[in-house]
Every structure is written in structure tokens, then in C-alpha cells.
Amino acid sequence: MKATYHNYILNFKQASGTSRGVLNVKETWFIIIENNGKKGIGECGILRGLSCDDRPDYEEKLNWTCKNINLGKDTLWEMLLEFPSIQFGVEMAFLSLASKTPFLLFESDFTTGKKSILINGLVWMGNESFMKQQIEEKLAQGFKCIKLKIGAIDFQKELDLLHFIRQNFNEETIQIRVDANGAFSSNEALNKIKQLTGYKLHSIEQPIQKNNTDSMAELCKNTTIDIALDEELIGVFSIEEKEALLLKIKPQYIILKPSFVGGFRGTKEWILLAKKHKIGWWITSALESNIGLNAIAQFTYLQQNSMPQGLGTGALYTNNFECPLEVLDGKLWYNDTKKWEFDFEKFLQ
């Protein structure tokens, strides 16, 4: 068995804004395992400035992982605890290698095209007219849940956008989630949440920056809108630490990105703890290519969570890999009549 790693730069079709800045490109890495003529592929997706494994020794660790691939999936997972995106890539690559085809990791009614996954439509930050245009597009595309990135433009303009939606659609028709990406200060967060309350929102993600656990616990206790932890989960490795965090903050929801929380195994640990403590959860991509998104979607379907998941990111890039995933009427489908446009030999040249 041998393994190699490969850098790949994904180019956004249009600049995508968050409260942490504007994204034009997304760097990702692929691990390819070869054994007895078969190949498997896994994606190690990091977001610069956000992933806990965005470190100077990242490529060095990828190189070490490939050289030690014979240790196997489980041993490597334990040894890569501080590199959750590599844990995910290795886990995915081994599943890919063992599968009938490299991209069919978890067979189900989803991969045969019988069932779909309900997803939210993502509205990126930008000026008011750009955000309004995106909202109108998502509603026209049949999404029943939309997620707005907030915290970068004038707050009153963001309230006006929410008013625009609610003028036309009530909460039974369209569910609205907002994601502040930690943009609010601890002092202003509760007041801003109260101002948002009249718009009948489903939830607000990460209203304040991570590692302010006392303030976040206080917010979750007093909030008028359900709070979902996202960035807060990054860099929390052991089951004991995970449970301690949930018990202290007591969030209404947690959001799980396999690239950030240690792949499928790490995601399952969070799900078990969330169920134990009656905390809601859903899964989202972390802007992976279609290779990573495909693996996450297949895994997500098996978890049988009826809430809208955050998996509608496949059309963001100009140089993504064509695949069977497609979005129709606010749902993610696996159209097995569409083929993967990925050539291992060409990619490895």
C-alpha cells in the first residue's frame, strides 16, 4: 500500500463574504491511497485562519501520514488528533479504497436516487442589493430554509433584509437561520438577538467568538432565539472535553463539520453526546470540493436527521469536479445517471 498527497486550489465563482473576510479561493488537499491496483481518495479540507490544524507543519504532517499509511485508518486517527482535517481525509480515503467504486462510500437509498437530503440555501454577505438578489434566487429555487451570513454590513440593513423575507413568507413557509461567525461582541450580543427575535428565526450560529464560554453560557441561558455552536467545537478533541463544553454552555444546537471535528468518527462522538444531553444538531460542509461533499452527504443521510443540513455548496467553484450530486427544490439528490468527471491518472500526473 502506498499513499500520496496533492494540493488543489478551488476558485470561487464569485467572492464570498463572511464576517471574517472575503473568500476568493479555497485551498484543499487530497490523499490518494493505492493498493493492488485499486485507488481510494480522501479530502483534507482546511479553512485558513479557522481550522485548528491551519499550522506551519500541516504539509509535513500530510507527508508523515502518507509515509505511515500502513498503520491503518484507526491507528492514524488516534495519532492525528490535532489534525482533524487529515483524520477526515484518511478515513475517507480508506473507505474509498474499500468501496466498489472510489466515490460510493456508504450505499443507501440516497446513493440509488430514491431519497434526498433536505438542505438550507446559503446567502453570503455582501451589500444589501447583492444579499437581496441571493435571497430571491434561493426562494425561487424552492428552498424552504435559508441561512444568512450576518455581522459584516450595517446591522439595520440586515434587519431590513429579514423584514423583506418576512413580508412575503411566514416562518411556516420559510425557515431562516442566521450565522454571525462570532461577529457580535459579548456586550452587545443579547441586545442584537432581541432585535432579531421579531423575525421568527430558527436559530443563530456562533453569535460571539469562541473561547468565551462564560458569556456563551449566559447567552444560551437568556436567549430569545435558539443558539447553535459552530466554531466553538473546533479544537475540542477528547470526549471528556466535548462533554464538559456542552454541559457548561448548554446550547440549543451544535453544528458539525467533519473536516473540523475529526471526520465521521469525531462527528459521531459529538452526535452521541448531543443526543445524551438533548441538544439538537445538524451537519454542514466546510466548503470542500465535491469529493469531500459527496462523502459527507452519504454519511449524513445515514444519520437520519430530518432537519435541513448545510450541504448545498457544490456549485460554488469554477473548477470543482463534476459529480452525481444535484440540488433540486431545496433538496440534495444523488443522480446516479450522472458520472464523476475525475481521472486518477490525469490527476496524479
Superfamily of domain 2-102: Enolase-like, N-terminal domain (3.30.390.10)
Paired sense of beta strands 175-179 and 145-149, if any: parallel
Residue 340 DSSP one-character state: P
Q: Look at 149-153, 223-227, 270-274, 295-299 and tell me which has the smallest mean pLDDT.
A: 149-153
In this model, does residue 48 exceed pLDDT 90? Answer: no
Q: How far is CA 158 from CA 127, 137, 146, 168, 180, in A?
A: 10, 17, 14, 16, 11
**Residues β-bridged to residue 27:** 9
Q: Name which of 160, 209, 186, 161 is nearest 19 in CA terms.
A: 209
Q: Which residues pair with 117 in a beta bridge?
A: 332
Is the pLDDT at 349 greater than 80? The verdict is no
Asked about 257 being catalytic, the answer comes back as yes
Selecting among 26, 192, 242, 257, the annotated active-site residue is: 257
Question: Domain residue spans in the chain?
Answer: 2-102, 117-334
- Within 43-125, where are the H helices? 58-67, 73-79, 84-98
For residue 40, is pLDDT > 90? yes
Q: Which of 145, 103, 44 is nearest to 299 (CA)?
A: 103
Q: Which architecture, in CATH terms, is 117-334?
A: Alpha-Beta Barrel (3.20)
Per-residue pLDDT reduced to its tens digit, 214-240: 999 999 999 999 999 999 999 999 999
Active-site entry in 73, 138, 144, 149: 149
Lowest mean pLDDT among 10-24, 65-79, 100-114, 139-153: 10-24
Mean pLDDT computed over 65-81: 97
26 is catalytic: no
Across 245-260, average pLDDT: 98
pTM: 0.94
Question: Which among 114, 113, 133, 115 is positioned nearest to 123, based on CA atoms?
Answer: 133
Phi, psi of 282 (to 5 degrees): -150, 165
